[in-house]
Amino acid sequence: MTATNQDPIPLSAGDARFDSATVRKTLTAGQAITLQGKDLTTLLNARALGCIAWIRGYPTTATTSEDQVFATEVDVIAGRLYEVSLMNITPDISNTKQTEFRIRYVTGTASWPNNSSRLLAISLRLSQFELGFIRAFYLAPATQRVRFRASIGSLDGSTVRSWCPGDGGVLAVMDLGIAQPQNGSASNVPPGKTLREYYITAADVQIYYENRSGYTGNLTKYVEHGYFGDGRGHRRTWQIFNSAGYTQLADMVGVPYGDILIAELFLEVDNWHNGNGYAIIGYHNKTTLAVPEQTGGVPNKQHYYYPGTGGQWLDLKANGSASGSIVESMQSGYFKGFLFGAASGNDLQFQMIATGTRDLDGGTSNPPVLHLKFYR
């Protein structure tokens, strides 16, 4: 052993300090041993202690309701986590998928569990000679005695009976140590993320005609695309949102595709010149609309067959999240609004969407609405 002569802390009579020490035989400590400021007994007690109770056997319990096959009891300590398991047991009489094994428990020593005691876990429905197996966690809320019971139950009132092959069935209780804080989520929400959902309504719309400059006039939120023999030629419509809508859109920038649950667009069609048609949808990155039509639009990203008229939600995730798709443009932050209509020409164009605050016959319909639901 090497003693240090530079230790500034004064030593009391009988104290010793060493930079390092090797003990070749037995080390005996009259009181507590402290490691890095923590008592050794406390450190060891925090760790798993392993199996603290178990019972093995060959029960052949038969019942038309529910009856015990194993029972055991343990003393638990508040804040420690325990695993209770039933293994290597099967029904040897039952109707198809009409047997369950169950673990129930009571606290204290006044009684043992019965058919009405609190249920800790159940097996899946089993048929004859399908092996039963249950594992469940029990977090001790208090320091006390807990009695566990494993039982066999009939689901249809017919007789079921237990059988344990090999070395027999086992009911066991394992001490897993002091429970760590829970981490993660108990739903389909990714850990550390919250669910966001927005309905973003169109704020303004601009129609552009091939043979005349675009206009808005008193047809705000009115959408039209396609070709019709009225002398105006091919037409396209751009749509934008208000500032609140753009704030909500910005929340989806960088969200992984797997965390996007819904990305869909509501359109209400009041008139197709051919009876049925295609909603031809793209996007752009402009927050204001101008005349003539601006550059920067990305048309023809998704085509939706639209039979008849009325409202529909169109799935924007239908063509995935590949580079240039509508959803990818939202993830990247490029997307600022929808563009309805093809780049040019009349293919798939002989139709019209009429949706917005005013339709072709002077009635009222619903403006386009973007629905987003995602985790962030």
The pLDDT tens digits for 105-160 are 999 999 999 999 999 999 989 999 999 999 999 999 999 999 999 999 999 999 99
pTM to 2 decimal places = 0.54
User: What are the E-state strand segments in 2-79?
Assistant: 2-3, 18-20, 34-35, 38-39, 50-57, 62-63, 66-76
Number of domains in the chain: 2
Separation between Cα atoms, residue 267 and residue 354, nearest integer Å: 9
Separation between Cα atoms, residue 312 and residue 355, nearest integer Å: 11
Distance of CA 205 to the CA centre of its chain: 36
Same domain, 278 and 361: yes
Convert the pLDDT of each residue in 282-315 to its tens digit. 999 999 988 778 888 898 899 888 887 788 899 9
Domain assignment present for residue 3? The answer is: no
* CATH number of the domain to which 58 belongs: 2.60.120.40
Domain assignment present for residue 37? The answer is: no
Same domain, 325 and 222: yes
At position 307, the amino acid (one-letter code) is P
> Would the pLDDT of 200 be above 90?
yes
Q: 139 lies in which domain range?
A: 50-178
Domain assignment present for residue 281? The answer is: yes
> Would the pLDDT of 213 be above 70?
no
Between 29 and 118, residue with greater pLDDT: 118
Same domain, 294 and 206: yes
Convert the pLDDT of each residue in 310-353 to its tens digit. 888 999 998 888 899 999 999 999 999 999 888 776 555 555 55
pLDDT at site 3: 47
pLDDT at site 170: 98
Domain assignment present for residue 190? The answer is: no
Same domain, 66 and 112: yes
Give 222's contacts (C-beta < 8 A, 6+ positions apart): 205, 207, 354, 355, 356, 357, 358, 359
Same domain, 174 and 235: no
Q: Residue 72, SS3?
A: strand
At position 268, the amino acid (one-letter code) is E
Same domain, 254 and 336: yes
Lowest mean pLDDT segment, chosen from 95-104, 211-220, 334-343: 211-220
Same domain, 173 and 199: no
pLDDT at site 362: 42
- pLDDT bin (cut points 50, 70, 90) of residue 18 is confident
Separation between Cα atoms, residue 241 and residue 133, nearest integer Å: 56
Torsion of CA 175, 181, 184, 185, to 10 degrees: 90
Separation between Cα atoms, residue 156 and residue 75, nearest integer Å: 36
Same domain, 92 and 223: no
Q: Residue 299 has which token pair?
A: 């048309």
